[in-house]
Amino acid sequence: MRYRLLTTVTLALGVVLLVDVLRVFLPAVITIFGQAASTPAELLGAFAFGWFLLALAAPALIRRVGARPVTLVAAVLLVVARLAVNGQPGGRLQLWLATAGLLAGLVWLAGVAAGTDRPVPGLALGLAVGAVLHTVLDTYRSAFFGDWPAWLAAVGVAGLFLAGQARPAPPAGAGGVRSWLLAGPALLLAGMVALSPAVARTATSYQFGLLRSDPADEVGVATVPLFGPAPLAVAVGGFLLAALAPPRRGAWRWLGPVALVGGTVLVALGRGELLLPAVLLTAVGLGACLASAGAADGRGDDGADEARTPVPGGAGQDPARAAGGASAPARAAGGGQDPARAAGRRGYAAVAGMLVFAVAAVAYYSAYDLGHPNAGVPVAVAALVAAVALARRPAPGPRSPLPPVWTAATAAVMTLLAAVASDELLSATNRDGPPETVRVAAYNVRMGFGMDGRFDPDALARAVAGADVVALSEVDRGWLLNGGHDTLDLLAERLDMPYVFAPAADPLWGDAVLSRWPLDAARTRPLPAVGAPTGAQALGVTVDFSEGVRLAVVATHLQPPPGEDPVVQARAVADFAVRYAAGRPLVVAGDLNTEPGDPAFAEFTRAGLVDALAAARPLPTSPADAPRQQIDHVFVTPGLAAADAAAPPGTASDHLPVAVTLTLPPV
């Protein structure tokens, strides 16, 4: 069957739009439907999963009405929802627009699957283009903001997509089921690991950090990366070369599946220094598995090689009518299958693959609320992809969908585009000697999402404007569930502050310290879990004011057991902080989930620390829109005089920041 460029480009653009909608839908379920963790996790999962389950009706609708009208209508609705989301960055309307876009996208995917038996080139290009756009637009503007780069990208992609969708697709053969089944798992693995610019940047910050830190003290911290998202360029290029080149045969065909499973095993180990090889292995392995599945589809679903003569029933025709008019020779050419049945199988395979996406995403991320093990989820999805890729040997003869020159050129262009999106270098200065005072802020940023579900790093930066040292809690550096943003890097760019990050739940979620002065001697310690599902740690860093003047800062986010006070964790943090400071002035700051007078609060005062916010009490910080609880705190050693304590109002997170000016002791 001849390769058709228009079909592939249209599918690729549709994948970009669907992924963009998913990047809004998933965090909207958490922050808007979830109402700041007040909605049970089981209900959140049921709401998210239900829309994927509803899409199972799409293949039956396509068989009854016809693939072309259903696909066109779904494509238009997907575009309308995508553009509407761009102009509605928050609130319940955003949730329902994203939900409508998701359902339309799933129906569109089933319709395209019914009429396309060679989807691998389009799927691979779509995932690669989406990753590059996500990088160029700084991982967030394409889905949440209506500035001109976002509108230009959104309107351009949508226009080209609809223009291509309006053209009838070439007739389809009988294969394609395996490739379409892998669409959902490939989207999950690409978004979680392989083609995520935020994950690539975070992985680089573990390996190639710019800040100094004593190797004897450092345990798994990440600092400002030297190369930013540059590894994504290698990942995109390797993924495309593996996906679009002819698949390996014989024993060599095991290389891709082994690389894919191996990469996800490195992710499951939960070590930041293994994240970079995990990204690269997963990207190349995923591409190779897609190529193997596509080549195996060339044999037809019964194992027979497809004839070159196409069978009616593509996206431009009603499969049911095509089935009725197909001759016996035509059915034989399609591997002996009824074209309508083949189209239906592909449609159900595409939806089933997206169900795998939904189940795996819910199973993985709900663990941080429910406490069940989740490290094996990406490994299980990778094993499924590998098994499908190895289930049938490729069809004989070359199966490359593009000529070799086109394959190499496409990979090179995508690699170059990904490489040009680099980080800005952040500055840290000693100014003109040590300062007399330093403004310290603590802020639980809730992964960057405000009370209205809007992801707004500019609002986060305004909330802590004027601070010299900032301790952050609930920092997300690339979770697909939250849209794949590197919240810490985006905020650091706006504040022009370098940072140190310490993982808590996994290498992408934890706490951080940013400073206008150089940071040094980072050290992190895990805290006792005490029944809380989300991990917790204490991060110690030293702020170097020069001339021997230094300030020890410990950032943490206590995670109490349900209905209890985090006494055990508070005692562990206080003990760690005092030992880490070793007699230097000390600040302990963060979301401590305890109020003045509670036993956990008393652990800090018992360790000799002083409540730096005492003069401004009561100072409630949560929830941000109607604060009632005083759970965000700053403690200091007695030699640091505190003044001007405040909790600036705002709804850029579900907490208010707290800030206080500290007078440093004389040299």
Same domain for 410 and 442, yes or no, is no
Q: 26-72, pLDDT tens digit by residue? A: 999 988 887 655 677 778 888 988 999 999 999 999 999 988 999 99
Looking at the domain assignment, is residue 195 inside a domain?
yes
Q: What pLDDT score does 71 carry? A: 94
Residues 498 and 377 in one domain: no
Pick the more confident residue, 249 or 400: 249
Closest CA to 460 of 284, 643, 473: 473
d(CA 556, CA 525): 10
The yes-or-no verdict on residue 424 having pLDDT over 70 is no
Q: Does a structural domain hold residue 333?
A: yes
- Predicted TM-score (pTM) of this structure: 0.89
208 and 101 housed in the same domain: yes
Residue 428 lies in a domain: no
229 and 377 assigned to the same domain: yes
CA distance 263 to 190: 12
User: 656 and 624 in contact (C-beta within 8 Å)?
Assistant: yes
Give the DSSP letter string of 235-290: HHHHHHHHHHSPPP-GGGGGHHHHHHHHHHHHHHTT-GGGHHHHHHHHHHHHHHHH
* Max Cα-Cα span within the chain: 94
Query: Which CATH number covers residue 659?
Result: 3.60.10.10
The confidence band for 514, taking pLDDT boundaries of 50, 70 and 90, is very high
* Least-confidence region, from 87-101, 417-431, 489-503: 417-431
Q: Which band of pLDDT confidence, cut at 50, 70 and 90, is reported for residue 147?
A: low
* pLDDT score at 289: 95
pLDDT in tens, 530-573: 776 678 999 999 999 877 789 999 999 999 877 788 999 999 99
Segment 124-132 shows an average pLDDT of 91
Please give the residue range of the domain that contains residue 57.
5-420
* Residues 235, 190 share a domain: yes
Count CB neighbours of 275 within 10 A.
29
The pLDDT, as a whole number, for residue 158 is: 86
Q: Which helix (H) or strand (E) holds 474?
A: strand 469-476
Residues 48 and 152 in one domain: yes
* Residue 372 or residue 20, greater confidence: 20
Q: Is residue 258 part of a domain?
A: yes
Is 431 part of a structural domain of the chain? no
**Better pLDDT: 20 or 304:** 20
Q: Determine the pLDDT at residue 174.
A: 79
404 lies in the same domain as 445? no
Same domain, 208 and 129: yes
For residue 426, is pLDDT > 90? Answer: no
For tokens 């690669």, name the residue: 128
Average pLDDT over residues 485-508: 93
Lowest mean pLDDT among 213-227, 456-470, 546-560: 213-227
Greater confidence (618 vs 324) lies with: 618
Q: Kindly state the percentage of the chain with pLDDT values over 70.
A: 84
For the ranges 84-93, 539-548, 629-638, the maximum mean pLDDT occurs at 629-638
Tally Cβ neighbours within 10 Å of residue 324.
11
Q: pLDDT band at 307, cuts 50/70/90?
A: very low
> For residue 643, which phi and psi values (nearest 5 degrees)?
-155, 160
Q: Worst-scoring range by mean pLDDT, 129-143, 331-345, 508-522?
A: 331-345
Residue 299 class from Cβ within 10 Å (0-12 exposed, 13-18 middle, 19+ buried)? buried
Residue 486 lies in a domain: yes
DSSP states of 634-647 as a string? EEE-TTSEEEEEE-
Taking 80 as the threshold, does the pLDDT of residue 355 lie above it?
yes
Residue 364 pLDDT greater than 60, yes or no: yes
Number of folded domains in the chain? Answer: 2
| pLDDT, tens digit, 9 for 90 and up, residues 268-306 | 999 999 999 999 999 999 999 999 998 877 655 544 444
CA 415 – CA 399 distance, rounded (Å): 23
* Terminal-residue alpha carbon distance, the chain: 79
- 88 pLDDT higher than 80: no
Q: Are residues 475 and 573 in the same domain?
A: yes
Rounded to the nearest integer, the mean pLDDT of the chain is 85
CB 14 within 8 Å of CB 75 = yes
Beta-carbon contacts of 73 under 8 Å, excluding residues fewer than 6 positions away, are none
Please, where are the H alpha helices in 116-208? 120-136, 141-144, 148-165, 177-181, 183-189, 197-207
